[in-house]
Amino acid sequence: MRSLRSTIIWNTTSQKPENMSKQIPQPPKSLFLGNVAEIDPERSLDSFVHLADKYGPVYRLDVLGKSIVVLSSQELVDEACDSKHFEKFVGASQIHLRPLTGDGLFTADNDAPVRVVGKS
């Protein structure tokens, strides 16, 4: 049995990309429970390893109405967590705080010098 070095799971119910070029594989699901039956509560890690072997390193599960995506390789987890792929959103409340606090963790824009230095 191959070991599962890292797994990252995130909720994807908020938005699904319309231009997804390839569908994420998913086991067949039941009407009300989704894919809950795919996970053995006594051996949950083995269940995720089995699903990765069957559907590949990226697969989708529906658990009680919540759609989640599972990444089951260290390389994919590293790529998904790489901050170079994300941009920070500074909301109106943070913008109003900027005159008082200056550019900081929560108030600086992505291209602010303090943010650029922190990314290197």
Question: How does pLDDT run across 63-117, given as a tens digit for each residue?
Answer: 888 899 999 888 988 888 887 777 777 778 787 787 888 877 777 777 776 655 4
Range of the domain at 9: 1-84
Say if residue 45 is in the same domain as residue 69: yes
Say if residue 55 is in the same domain as residue 92: no
**Whole-angstrom Cα distance, residue 60 to residue 11?**
10
Say if residue 41 is in the same domain as residue 24: yes
Say if residue 45 is in the same domain as residue 14: yes
Say if residue 66 is in the same domain as residue 8: yes
Domain count, the chain: 2
Say if residue 66 is in the same domain as residue 11: yes
pLDDT at residue 55 in the model: 95
Query: How many other CB atoms are there within 10 angstroms of residue 34's CB atom?
Result: 19
Residue 27 vs residues 34, 43, 50: alpha-carbon distances, Å: 9, 18, 11
Say if residue 68 is in the same domain as residue 91: no
DSSP-derived secondary structure letter, 30: B
**Whole-angstrom Cα distance, residue 52 to residue 25?**
10
The answer, yes or no, to whether residue 16 has pLDDT greater than 70, is no
Say if residue 55 is in the same domain as residue 106: no
What is the value of pTM for the model shown?
0.60
